[in-house]
Amino acid sequence: LLEDSLTASHHEVLKIVITREPTLQDLERAVEKARDFTADCIVGIGGGSVLDSAKAIGIMVANPGNLMDYIEVVGLGQTLINPSIPVIALPTTAGTGSEVTRNAVLSVPEQKVKVSLRSPFMVPRIAAIDPQLTITMPPEVTARTGMDALTQLIEPYLSRRSNVMTDLYCREGIPLAASALLRAYQNGEDLEARRKMSYASLLGGLALANAGLGAVHGLAGPIGGMFPAPHGAICARLLPAVIRENYTVIKERMPNHPLLHRFQEIAQWVTGNGSAGVGDLVDHLLGLCALLHIPGLRDFGVNEGDLDEIVIKGIAASSMKANPVELDHESLRRILAESL
């Protein structure tokens, strides 16, 4: 419909279809097409992978060179100097918050890694949130993206870079996502649940863009690069074990740290029980994964023999820097083992 409308109003349209989490080669081909077309605006309609692709294409049309000049870890990591051409983001899932973030994630299968293209210039010019666009999401996609949204509200609230602004986003978003996700999964046409999830996802994007994430995403990136596993499902399975380990380590090292109270707050918001503790939170999240039919990491091909490699890669991940406490190799390995 949008393509027809633009064509009817005498705009030339180039359609680029993204059907999976984008690889470096996928985006290189898309950028070449957009440059040849001399695109002056990008409209991204879809889930996080589509929106990330739109942002990457928009910034690369405006800058010289190729993606390897700018991407982190495996590329040169140069600074993108020119503002992106305008990008309009219309999310059709409720999970990534990509419509308001400044990076795009892509995979490099040859090196079994996921990396980011990142710049303040990559934030979309317009983010249009319409919950009705999410109604047709299949239940399994609703579950995975929804757990990603919940994770991206919990991690910034516990981040060592949290601040007054991001705390507001998280305090509003966590109870919304926790109360609406199962409803949206069980009845995709529940517009009120869809509205809450869309808003929670937006709040999560704003929170992570300004406070960072943590060990869940620090480990999820390497796993997603090494195995054909959906990002949201990885986050869902890691979240309970990461919460347990972070809380345990902080309590052992700093038993009077005020951050411990935040774990209690999250437990109460997520469970809806004003007297819930961290153990209740972990149990609730594990139960939610079961109700959403999200399997353990072993179902995606992860085995005990892979854990040390994942940990080594995870320690180097940018998301790990915002984790509320530094976790050693043993702690991270324990998280992965519990998540299998």
b/e string for 155-165 if b means 16 or more Cβ within 10 A? bbbbbeebeee
**117 φ, ψ to 5°?**
-105, 130
**CATH code linked to domain 131-339:** 1.20.1090.10
| Per-residue confidence band for 91, with pLDDT thresholds at 50, 70 and 90 | very high
pLDDT of 131-157, one tens digit each?
999 999 999 999 999 999 999 999 999
**CATH code linked to domain 2-127:** 3.40.50.1970
- What distance lies between CA 155 and its chain's CA centroid? 11
| Per-residue confidence band for 272, with pLDDT thresholds at 50, 70 and 90 | very high
pTM above 0.85, yes or no: yes
Q: How many CB atoms lie within 10 A of CB 132?
A: 12
* Segment 334-339 mean pLDDT: 98
Distance of alpha carbon 244 from alpha carbon 286, whole angstroms? 12
pLDDT for 242 equals: 99
pLDDT of 73 higher than 90: no
Q: Which amino acid is at 13?
A: V
Domain with CATH 3.40.50.1970 in the chain: 2-127
Do 302 and 337 form a contact (C-beta atoms < 8 A)? no
User: What distances in angstroms separate CA 242 from CA 94, 103, 199, 205, 245, one per listed residue?
Assistant: 22, 24, 25, 20, 5
pLDDT of 8-34, one tens digit each?
888 899 999 998 889 999 999 999 999
Domain with CATH 1.20.1090.10 in the chain: 131-339
The percent of residues in the chain predicted with pLDDT above 90, rounded, is 91
pLDDT of 1 higher than 80: no
pLDDT for 206 equals: 98
Q: How many CB atoms lie within 10 A of CB 192?
A: 11
How do strand 113-118 and strand 87-91 relate by DSSP bridges?
unpaired
Distance of alpha carbon 163 from alpha carbon 208, whole angstroms? 11
